[in-house]
Structure 1
Amino acid sequence: MATKAPQSSKSNAEATVDAADAERDADALQLDAFLPYLLSVLSETVSQSLSRLYGERYGISIPEWRVLAILGPHGTMTATEIGAIGQMHKTKVSRAVAALVEKRFLERERNRADQREALLRLTDQGRTIYEEFVPSARAFNAALVDALSPSERAQLQSILERLTERARDLSRSISEDQF
């Protein structure tokens, strides 16, 4: 009795598709190892979690909280200064400021030194919200970093500072077409 040669379970067309898939996968950006993506996911996850605390309590959005959190310890600032500290686009700052003014958490006053911009400060109500929320924000931060040992926390702080500086350097290089 003659035996048949084993048949491949895949046709030539299927093998070609598999090879193309393998090549595409090799060229694909592996998001689980892409630091900008991982940092973005972490940032968004933390922001959304934290926003559940202040969003429900005070009816404010993530950008609004960021403006309050930046103004809280600084007192009076311009929207440009808030945007620079918080790495927020001017449109996002402007919308957050308008919403906070409408809610009476923030007040604007024309800058006498530069009539084109306004000086922003927390109202008494805005200051109260900020002061009420600080303990919750600190507790959230403590719970988050509790996943790390004290030495890992120190390492993470150092790593984040170095990566932030490096990202700024890269941004400047890109702006100067040197990347």
Structure 2
Amino acid sequence: MAGLVLEEFLPYRIVVLGDRLSRRLARAYADEGISIPEWRVLAVISQQPRMAARDVAARTPMDKMAVSRAVAALEDKGLVTRSEDDNDRRVLVLALSREGRRVFNRIARRAISFERRLLERLNSDERRCFRAALDRLDEISKEAGAAIA
């Protein structure tokens, strides 16, 4: 045995924490009839007026099939539109519809409030250290060659 204590293993703890927070926040968008994958896609698309479908998958922690299903569901609900790119007809471009923007804004207000209430439980030094540690771990995880392993 290598001495691994799962509950102390950082990657495991990060995944468990992220999942727990995501599920708590899911209550905000469940009221709008939106699933966790649909929210993730809606949030990503909201960051650019028109986004290539392939770029959505690259910006979420979801596989391409899950993104495709979420996009289809959002389109069926009238929250997302899909069209050909003006410069390259092979590229599908996604955008929020007017209703999609309204739904996103309602959920985003609740999400920001959720984050604020969560972070208020930490003092200013803890918040600063936490954000700095997250930023640094994110940088390390992106380094070429997975030098960590």
TM-score normalised by structure 2 residue count: 0.91
Matched position secondary structure for 1:74: coil
What amino acid does structure 2 have at the position aligned with 1:150? S
Which residue pairs with 2:55 in the alignment?
Answer: 81
Contact 1:79 1:90 in 2 (8 A): no
Contact 1:76 1:119 in 2 (8 A): yes
Q: Distance in 2 between matches of 1:43 and 1:83?
A: 19
What amino acid does structure 2 have at the position aligned with 1:165? E
Equivalences, count: 149
Give the structure with higher Rg (CA): 1
Alignment partner for residue 8 of structure 2, among 22, 33, 39? 33
1:1-179 mapped onto 2 (5 Å cutoff)? 24=1, 27-55=2-30, 57-169=31-143, 172-174=144-146, 179=149
RMSD in angstroms over aligned alpha carbons? 1.8
Matched position secondary structure for 1:107: strand
Q: Distance in 2 between matches of 1:115 and 1:87?
A: 27
What amino acid does structure 2 have at the position aligned with 1:39? I
Please give the per-residue CA displacement for 1:11-52, whole angstroms capped at 9, x wherever unaligned.
xxxxxxxxxxxxx5xx35211211000000000001100001
| Comparing 89-98 and 30-39, the one that deviates more | 89-98
What amino acid does structure 1 have at the position aligned with 2:108? V
Q: Distance in 2 between matches of 1:103 and 1:43?
A: 27
Aligned-residue offset at 1:88: 2.8
Matched position secondary structure for 1:87: coil
Identify the structure with the greater helix proportion. Answer: 1
Percent sequence identity is 36
What amino acid does structure 2 have at the position aligned with 1:79? A
Structure 2 vs 1, CA of residues 41 and 122 (structure 1 numbering), >3 Å: closer, same or farther?
same
